[in-house]
Amino acid sequence: MSDEFREMAMQNTTNVEQHRLTARRLAKKRNKKILIITFFVVYTLFTLFPLYVLLVRSFVGTKHATDLWLWPPPMEEASLEYQWGNLSVFYNLDFDKVKNDLGIPQDAYIQARWTLERVAQEYGISEQEVQDYFTPYSVYSGWIVLFTDHKFWPALFRTILITTLSLAGLNLLSILTGFGLAGLRRKDQIFVYNLYLLSAVIPVMMILLPQYMTIQWLLKLIPGYDVSGSTARYISQLMAVIALNIKGGALGTMIFTVYISSIPKDLEEAAEIDGANTLQYLRYILLPLLKVPIASFTVISLPAIWNQFLEPYIYLDAGNTTLLPLIQSYTGTYTTNYQVSYTGILISIIPLVLIYLLFRNWFIQGAMSGAVKG
């Protein structure tokens, strides 16, 4: 009995030790999992915090621009002592619209030093109506100015148009270039490929002036371009910016040349045996295989083209501009309505976020497909 009891006691001790080891392993895994989740939560919060601050800043008035706000400030009632000229500077007011909304004659001259109280008295407007009209500007000035500006929506449309056509043209030309250079079997192919790579190390500012002179010389050859505000001038300027975006680039050439080179040559030979020409091979065989590099190249190029500032600022007229140059135009010499700037930047980010949210599965599938292929 004593031997059996001793054996049972040893077995129980062993079982207890095993349970303890198992519990320790589970606790370690649980703690590791909690640590990883905590890390990614903190990382996500740090990543989203600038966007949150940008959202809050779009509601913070210019006079509070130096203060840190983590929550939208309360709305301040407009004082009747505010001067008409100061309001126009701080809020980027459209005088014609304000006069029309308040029932003031369009040909009426209002001195810059007149207070809102005097404006109300001069034109028979109740003081409460004047206060109610200007009070929302203390918080929503940026949104009101942008959404009521007749130049905002056309600028947004032109930004979308330039981005869409540029991405389509850039992918198409990069695919054709990569197809022509795939394999790098001949010396001329290697020479052209190296020229594309060399363009990546040339500073943009070095070719800015000759590029500008060349573009202007070509644009002046178009009939009607010299007529200010003409349709021909606006379309020509937009096409010039798109052409600059889709011109040969090192990144697209490298991505598609390397990827197409990895596709077996037997596919092209089989297509030729079946009677397919080069265009049919590109359309029905090669393009379906290029979803991965197209997705990758689009993800890289989209923010660069959407957030483009220099080319639209140089080549487009003020009435034919895109989103970022329009936002920059609200910057004054002596004062700036920061609400408009922050609101415009926030609005310019929203389409990019929506595109990535809508097509994230496609991008992820493309990346995973590339990983499996590699």
Domains of the chain, residue spans: 2-57, 84-135, 150-329
Two tokens at 95?
């005088």
Decide if 171 contacts 252 (C-beta within 8 A): yes
Q: How confident is the model over 167-188, as a mean pLDDT?
A: 85
In this model, does residue 371 exceed pLDDT 50? no
User: What CA–CA distance (Å, rounded) separates 267 from 218?
Assistant: 42
Q: Terminus-to-terminus CA distance in the chain, angstroms?
A: 66
In one-letter notation, the amino acid at residue 142 is G
Give 178-186 contacts, CB < 8 A, sequence gap 24+: 178/252, 178/253, 178/255, 178/256, 178/257, 178/258, 178/259, 178/260, 179/256, 179/260, 179/282, 179/286, 181/253, 181/257, 182/257, 182/260, 182/261, 182/263, 183/261, 183/265, 184/257, 184/261
Helix axes 187-198, 152-181, angle to 10 degrees: 150
Inter-residue contact 83 to 130 (CB < 8 Å)? no
Number of continuous H segments (helices) and E segments (strands) in the chain: 19, 0
More confident residue, 369 or 176: 176
Fold topology of 150-329:
MetI-like fold (1.10.3720)
Sequential DSSP letters for 104-161: --TT----TT-BHHHHHHHTT--HHHHHHHHTTHHHHHHHHHHHH-TTHHHHHHHHHH
Average pLDDT over residues 166-188: 85
pLDDT of residue 366: 55
Structure tokens at 15: 């079982």
Q: What share of the chain is helix, strand, coil (3-state, %, to 5)?
A: 75, 0, 25
User: pTM above 0.85?
Assistant: no
- Would you place residue 299 in the very low, low, confident or very high pLDDT band (cuts 50, 70, 90)? confident
Q: Given pLDDT bands bounded at 50, 70 and 90, which one contains residue 179?
A: confident
Task: Please report which residue ranges of 182-329 form alpha helices under DSSP H.
Answer: 187-198, 204-219, 231-246, 250-261, 265-273, 278-281, 287-289, 291-306, 310-315, 323-329
Average confidence (pLDDT) over 4-29 = 68
CB atoms within 10 A of CB 181: 23
Contact of 307 with 19, CB cutoff 8 Å:
no
Among candidate residues 307, 296, 295, the one with its CA nearest the CA of residue 350? 307
pLDDT of residue 15: 63
Asked if pLDDT for residue 9 goes beyond 80, the answer is no
- For a pLDDT cut of 90, what percent of the chain falls above it? 17
Provide the 3-class DSSP secondary structure of residue 82: coil
* Pairwise CA distance, residues 122 & 130, whole Å: 12
Encode pLDDT of 36-47 as tens digits.
999 999 999 998
pLDDT score at 368: 57
Checking if the pLDDT of 23 tops 80, the result is no
- 114-173, pLDDT tens digit by residue? 898 888 888 888 889 888 888 888 888 889 888 888 889 999 999 999 999 999 999 999
Predicted local confidence at residue 298, as pLDDT: 87
User: Cα–Cα distance between 121 and 115 in angstroms, integer?
Assistant: 10
Determine the pLDDT at residue 363: 64
Most confident by average pLDDT, 77-91, 167-181, 253-267: 167-181
Q: Which residues contact 159 (CB under 8 A, 6 or more apart)?
A: 306, 322, 323, 324, 348
Report pLDDT digits (tens) over 318-335.
Answer: 888 999 999 888 876 666
pLDDT the model gives residue 365: 60
Which pLDDT belongs to residue 374? 45
pLDDT at residue 262 greater than cutoff 60: yes
Beta bridge partners of 83: 115
pLDDT per residue as tens digits for the range 64-123: 777 788 888 888 888 888 888 888 777 878 888 888 888 888 888 888 888 988 888 888
User: Cβ(320)–Cβ(158) under 8 Å?
Assistant: yes
